[in-house]
Amino acid sequence: MNCEECHEREASLHFTKIINGEKTEFHICEHCAKEKGEFLPGSNSFSIHQLLSGLLHGDGHVPNTPSSNFIPPSLSCEKCGMSYYQFAKIGRFGCDNCYKAFESKLNPIFKRVHGGNTLHAGKIPLRAGSSIQEKKQLQQLKQALQQYILNEEFEKAAETRDVIREIEHRLQQGRDT
């Protein structure tokens, strides 16, 4: 097969783009590829971000509910300054706080790229993890405390309150060190 650029040399680089099932193929020789700019393996590809950006825009090909289509122009992250529009365009978050800032928009995106999943089920970091466990425990204890008060089981309520104080104290110390 001859190169599509110069029609002289044998095409040695073959790219296939598949967009919505529509296949586009490019065949060029190394020489022409080089003229088009120094390339590295893998770098000339149609990147995942371009693809993702297409998904995030919901450009007609991806079913979108009317509510998730509406983006208030003011929606942006206060930590890094990235707007939702920028995020949708480049397909990347600017910082960890973007996850909070764009929270209301994220579930449909995660569902699409992670086979319907939106919640983490894997590793929890060791250090941060212990306080996460304690926070969860704290929530449960507070609920129990309410229940004891409602049931007028004041002795148990007092015990639970002490445990809550202890954990809160520990969490506070952890934050200070």
Contacting residues toward another protein, per CB under 8 A: 10, 12-15, 29-31, 34, 38, 40-49, 52, 79-82, 90-96, 99, 106, 109-110, 113-128, 132
Say which residues have a Cβ less than 8 Å from residue 164's Cβ, sequence separation at least 6.
138, 141, 142, 145
The vertex-84 CA angle with 83 and 85, nearest 5°, equals 90
Closest CA relative to residue 112, chosen from 51, 70, 67: 51
CA–CA dist 22, 32 (Å, integer): 25
* DSSP-derived 3-state class of residue 31: helix
* Cβ(130)–Cβ(170) below 8 Å: no
Closest contact distance (angstroms) between CB of 147 and another protein is 24
Closest contact distance (angstroms) between CB of 77 and another protein is 9
Which is nearer to another protein, 128 or 158 (by Cβ)? 128
Which is nearer to another protein, 103 or 152 (by Cβ)? 103
Closest contact distance (angstroms) between CB of 144 and another protein is 20
Cβ neighbours around 11 below 10 Å, total: 19
Which is nearer to another protein, 19 or 113 (by Cβ)? 113
Which helix or strand (DSSP H or E) is residue 114 part of?
A: none
Which is nearer to another protein, 49 or 170 (by Cβ)? 49
Closest contact distance (angstroms) between CB of 28 and another protein is 12
Closest contact distance (angstroms) between CB of 2 and another protein is 14
Which is nearer to another protein, 13 or 149 (by Cβ)? 13
